[in-house]
Amino acid sequence: MIHQTPAKIYKAHQRGLTESNRQRLYATFNFDNYQDKSRLPFGSLTVLNEETLAPNHSIARQPETNIVSLLIPLTGALKYSHSAEDDHTIVPGEIAVLPFNKTMITLTNPYEDVLINYLYITFSGNGQANESEIATVNFEERNTLHQFISQHNINGYMAIFDGRRETIYKLKDPANGLFLFVINGAFEVQGRLLEERDGLALWNTSEADMEALSENAIILVFEVPLIGFTS
């Protein structure tokens, strides 16, 4: 008998949508006014938003206590300020890791006439506040998962794949869960089809196999503690 790993698929077209003249936001999990009992956090992964910000516009976020935030630009540069630090600007291939803090985060589109697209992701946990940092992912090295965060029991990876190339991710702790999010292209993960902006949660497994079904397919992988998660 073939063992079927427990899983939940989050289809891109089923995400919560919030839209205004300055921002479009697709929420994979519950966020602000988007609330659905089927979209509760997956363990310590609490927010995964794809956001588009209009030119010369800014938005502010007030993270809760014990939240780590990630900013991942997909199209264009993203300017942000956090705490008393100076402004920073990151581009695709760079990831801002912002520590546990209740300080306001301001996100800005620095362009005069170009939309920007980015991911805003948060994790809950307990720990001491670290300094914010900017991690990089080397997309020149393909078909390999590149780790960009390993702190507070959060392990995050990103990779770009050639078509039909595959890899296996082995969890550091089988008690953890695995969440995968397709940024570009399509993948087959544990026998399940994931298309662009789809997410997949896996649990009760020690590993996951993934195969790119298109050229230049990009995937995010997070191994997280299953805090408060019930299947």
Confidence of residue 127 (pLDDT cuts 50, 70, 90): low
Mean pLDDT calculated for residue range 113-122: 98
CATH topology of domain 15-135: Jelly Rolls (2.60.120)
Confidence of residue 84 (pLDDT cuts 50, 70, 90): low
- What's the chain's average pLDDT? 92
How many angstroms separate the CA atoms of 69 and 47, rounded? 9
Name the token pair of 19: 């839209």
Name the token pair of 230: 């019930």
Handedness of CA 99, 60, 45, 145 (dihedral sign): negative
Name the token pair of 118: 């980015």
Q: Domain residues of the chain, as ranges?
A: 15-135, 138-224
The separation between CA 76 and the C-alpha centre of its own chain, rounded to angstroms, equals: 17
How many angstroms separate the CA atoms of 126 and 65, rounded? 9
How many angstroms separate the CA atoms of 46 and 196, rounded? 20
What is the dotted CATH code of the domain comprising 138-224? 2.60.120.10
Q: What was the pLDDT predicted at 228? A: 80
Distances (CA, A) of 125 to 23, 75, 116: 28, 29, 29
50 pLDDT higher than 80: yes
How many angstroms separate the CA atoms of 70 and 128, rounded? 17
Strand partners, 143: none
pLDDT, tens digit (0-9, with 9 covering 90-100), for 136-167: 999 999 999 999 999 878 999 999 999 999 99
